[in-house]
Structure 1
Amino acid sequence: MPYPTATPVADRQAPLLRQELQDRLDSLALAHRVPGAHLAVDTGTELISVHTGTADAATGRAYTADTAVPLGSVTKVYTAAAVLLLADDDDLDLDDPVASYVPELRELPEVTIRHLLGHTAGLPTGPDSDTAARTTASRYLSGLCTAQDALFAPGTGFSYSNAGYIAAGRLVELVTGMTWQEAVQALLLDPLGTEPAFLGEPAPARPGAVGHAVNTATGRLRPTHQNLAPVEAPAGALLAGALDLVDIGRALAGRSAVLPPGLAARMRRPEPGAAPGALADGWGLGVALFDQDGQRWCGHDGNAQGTSCHLRVEPESGVVVAFTGNSGGATKLWRDLVDDLPRLTGARVPTAPAPAHRGDPIALPECAGAYHNGPTEYLITLDADGRPTLSVDGDAPLPLVCYPDLTCDLVDPATGRLEPGGRFHRDPATGVIEHVQISGRAARRTSTV
């Protein structure tokens, strides 16, 4: 069947609207100190693409429509889609135990492939990239995917986990006999027309953006080093541009022959037990789900060292919005920019879960204790006034504001503003708080304070 191809608006109509969007992107990039950024919007019938600035602030190299950016966790969309394509070819079944393919998960025989892709496997997040760089995928998974480290029974909770996607990448390799990079290129990148580029390549085949951060002492931009470990590739190693993200977005909307519409619909279907809290309103197989004004969007966000990338898809209308930027400040730029998009998309583009109506704050002294996600410790203590504070791995504690539904907000110490934090979970049998979920990552209670 034929699939619609968007035609650039500037080629035939609405050049003023495109220029307004270009001007807005230029001004926001300056305001947020983002060297370069690219926004691409497919309205379902037309394509608008605007970009600005430099790919490398040190050299002044231009940020173009072809510039590839480290996507961070948006890579997971491609890994999940590759697994779905293998399932569509009957090479595996999503409800198979992962351990039947990946022996390193033999201590977790109830974890299925579906659990991995929906972050409902109960796996810890995993060690930092510097630590992961010193090991192999097999040792990484054997050391982390243990019964002792499991956060909850598979399918009963949500915890965003890079380890789950490292396991999914290992699954792809063992099933196809190729490396993850080779398999993703063959199954997705080549059919989509995306020129492959991965972190760690000695000679990248396409121009790439450098990540940037602001030096707090001098206020100057400085380049950042991408330190993703090789074993973490399936969770975050892909580089691509905003137009490439539009292509995978069209596939997620069922508008591309690369992903059959039924397969794309399976990726967008909410997974049981997936309650991601501050990350999204739900989760499918490899994609976050957002509810906005009666519409269900899907997509993913990704942050590498000094880059910020975002994808949103509304399947009913076919709208796809993709953004790449090469600074940590690009996340705020993205949030400001989407406020200008309703005229193009016909609807507001969600950047966060729908706000909850939770009532007035409450005291929750029973939440005090130590919680662990793998090696990461979340320590909740009470201040002099009996209010809870959160410290992660010994960092300075941040005040928590708790609500009757057991959700909580973090207080930004610089501005005093409330930021979505997560929620506590009680044991249904005893009523005792047994887990805390912060920014989508669950931690199991290991002691009281």
Structure 2
Amino acid sequence: MPYTIPAAPAAARTPSLLHRDLQHRLDTLARTHRVPGAQLVLDTGADVVAVHTGTADAATGSPFTGQTAVPLGSLTKPYTAALVMLLADDGDLDLDEPAAEHLPELSGTPAVTVRQLLSHTAGLPTGPDSDTAAATTTTRYLTAVCTARDLLFAPGTDFSYSNAGYVAAGRLVETVTGMPWHEAVRALLLEPLGVVPAFIGDTSPVRPVAAGHAVNTATGKARPARQNLAPLEAPAGALLASALDLAAFGNALAGRSDLLPPAVAKEMRRPETAARPGALADGWGLGLALYQRDGRVWCGHDGNAQGTSCHLRVDPESGVVVAFTGNAGGATALWRDLADDLVRVTGVRVPVGSRTTDRGRPVVLPECAGTYRNGTTTYRIAPGPDGAPALSVDGDLALPLVCYADLSCDLLDPATGRPEPGGRFHRDPATGRVDRVQISGRTARRTDDG
């Protein structure tokens, strides 16, 4: 059954009172976190409460309305996954067949299946940055990235979040439908949902859009950020949408829409056994992160473009959908605070990340020090000035690591000193050697002798 609007401490909380309370909290938190504009939608299955606040573009002063579309970043990926699932449901492809059956570009990794592309279990590297990707074609990109030499693990045995996998999934949609990805997502998903399509790179958008923003920490002044997604990466991150648009898609993922047959939505939500996403979530389905809370399994996804933070959570059992968009980096912290408020105000316990468990006291793991690689990205773990391990990615400032006996690790936030979920190390069962590390869901393979 859907949630009902819970009782307040002294009196029943009506939808209008809930709207007022959530509006106040969104306004307050946006100021606190220096976020120019944001949207929040709570769909209980019985009532829909939608609030928005602030400015869509600091340069123009345009208002942030309920219809303003925000760059979703990786929250585009569930839409691409849904396209593939619809094609599979129509019999145009088989989720468990090699993706190379449709994509010659993947002939270098013939064991990779369509299912593994969608669940990030193919072992593919993340892919080059957008500036590098912009200088090539999709075919050359995939041929260069999807090689046996660069596989992080045997396909179907582990998890590594991969933009390249979704570039391949988007190319699969184009090959099977004969339409460019933009046209396929417009015709098969967005328009049936009643969503006005918007994409990064639109020169004349047909609806109001928000800019992402960088905020000066000293002055608090926000300035618009340029979106630099390479066109070939569109299936991994090019959509713009409002929180209301996301909520409509969330209802489809819950099986409450004609867009996705209930069996298709259920298959997307089913956890893949090999998918162990570590700090990102408690599990992963086909295009969806999975979160276990209070005996329920929520699904959803997060997305960050340049200067935006967007989030979708769906509880299929109760019918609750929560969608949030914000147009500055601080919107991630705003989202976390809103999730805490939703528990207090509505009783809806929205999962933000993976569950926390008691892992005991930190331990020293000297065998984890070394060099690891994911495609062109290098992870270096070495003792810091105080002897504790620290992580540096591509030579950037090293962040202290806190390690535990179960091979999980946290990263210390340099600003606050607080531990944040980092990831885990992997020990080869045959040799006992630490041979991989997963940081923020991305796995890197050891390249030194350890």
TM range (shorter): over 0.9
For the 8 Å contact 1:288–1:300, the answer to whether it is kept is yes
SS at match of 1:83: helix
Matches within 5 A, 1:141-152: 141-152=142-153
For the 8 Å contact 1:308–1:326, the answer to whether it is kept is yes
Matched AA of 1:161: S
> Mean Cα displacement is larger for which, 340-349 or 311-320?
340-349
1:47 is aligned to: 48
C-alpha distance after superposition, 1:341-398 (max 9, x if no partner): 1366543100011102211111100011100000000001123554211110001111
Matched AA of 1:395: D
| TM-score, L = length of structure 1 | 0.96
- 1:217 deviation in Å? 5.7
Is 1:361 aligned with 2:399? no
C-alpha distance after superposition, 1:84-112 (max 9, x if no partner): 00000000010010001011110111100
Question: Distance in 2 between the 1:30 and 1:428 partners?
Answer: 50
Q: Give the count of matched residue pairs.
A: 441
Is 1:153 aligned with 2:144? no
SS at match of 1:110: coil
- 1:216 deviation in Å? 4.3
For the 8 Å contact 2:15–2:47, the answer to whether it is kept is no
Question: Distance in 1 between the 2:343 and 2:219 partners?
Answer: 38
2:263 is aligned to: 262
SS at match of 1:341: helix
Question: Distance in 2 between the 1:343 and 1:337 partners?
Answer: 10
Question: Distance in 2 between the 1:362 and 1:49 partners?
Answer: 46
- 1:305 deviation in Å? 0.3
SS at match of 1:148: helix
Matched AA of 2:244: L
- 1:13 deviation in Å? 4.7
1:381 is aligned to: 382
* Structure 1 pair 193–316 and aligned structure 2 pair: CA distance change class (3 A): same
1:14 is aligned to: 15
Question: Distance in 2 between the 1:47 and 1:77 partners?
Answer: 22
For the 8 Å contact 2:34–2:220, the answer to whether it is kept is no
Matched AA of 2:278: G
Matches within 5 A, 1:345-356: 346-356=347-357
For the 8 Å contact 1:228–1:237, the answer to whether it is kept is yes
Question: Distance in 1 between the 2:343 and 2:45 partners?
Answer: 14
Percentage of identical aligned residues:
70
1:185 is aligned to: 186
* Structure 1 pair 228–47 and aligned structure 2 pair: CA distance change class (3 A): same
Matched AA of 1:137: T
Question: Distance in 2 between the 1:252 and 1:16 partners?
Answer: 28
SS at match of 2:38: strand
Matched AA of 1:186: A
Matches within 5 A, 1:47-446: 47-216=48-217, 218-342=219-343, 346-383=347-384, 385-446=386-447
* Structure 1 pair 44–344 and aligned structure 2 pair: CA distance change class (3 A): farther
For the 8 Å contact 1:43–1:345, the answer to whether it is kept is no
Question: Distance in 2 between the 1:346 and 1:400 partners?
Answer: 35
> Mean Cα displacement is larger for which, 334-343 or 254-263?
334-343
Question: Distance in 2 between the 1:344 and 1:118 partners?
Answer: 34
Question: Distance in 1 between the 2:334 and 2:138 partners?
Answer: 35
Matched AA of 2:429: P
SS at match of 1:270: coil
For the 8 Å contact 2:214–2:329, the answer to whether it is kept is yes
Question: Distance in 1 between the 2:403 and 2:125 partners?
Answer: 24
For the 8 Å contact 1:368–1:448, the answer to whether it is kept is no
Question: Distance in 2 between the 1:329 and 1:398 partners?
Answer: 20
Question: Distance in 2 between the 1:258 and 1:385 partners?
Answer: 56
Question: Distance in 2 between the 1:297 and 1:125 partners?
Answer: 25
1:32 is aligned to: 33
SS at match of 2:83: helix
C-alpha distance after superposition, 1:273-327 (max 9, x if no partner): 1000000000000000001121110000000001110000000000000001111
SS at match of 2:123: coil
For the 8 Å contact 1:365–1:386, the answer to whether it is kept is no
* Structure 1 pair 131–81 and aligned structure 2 pair: CA distance change class (3 A): same
Matched AA of 2:282: D
Question: Distance in 2 between the 1:14 and 1:370 partners?
Answer: 54
> Mean Cα displacement is larger for which, 191-200 or 158-167?
191-200
Matched AA of 2:414: P
Question: Distance in 2 between the 1:18 and 1:46 partners?
Answer: 11
C-alpha distance after superposition, 1:247-289 (max 9, x if no partner): 1000010100100111100000001210000000000000000
Instruction: Identify unmatched segments of 5+ residues in structure 1.
Output: none
SS at match of 2:126: coil
Instruction: Identify unmatched segments of 5+ residues in structure 2.
Output: 6-12
Question: Distance in 1 between the 2:293 and 2:321 partners?
Answer: 15
Question: Distance in 1 between the 2:40 and 2:145 partners?
Answer: 38
SS at match of 1:447: coil
- 1:57 deviation in Å? 1.5
SS at match of 1:155: coil
- 1:67 deviation in Å? 0.2
- 1:14 deviation in Å? 3.0
For the 8 Å contact 1:43–1:344, the answer to whether it is kept is no
2:8 is aligned to: none
Question: Distance in 2 between the 1:57 and 1:36 partners?
Answer: 9
* Structure 1 pair 252–344 and aligned structure 2 pair: CA distance change class (3 A): farther
Question: Distance in 2 between the 1:383 and 1:196 partners?
Answer: 48
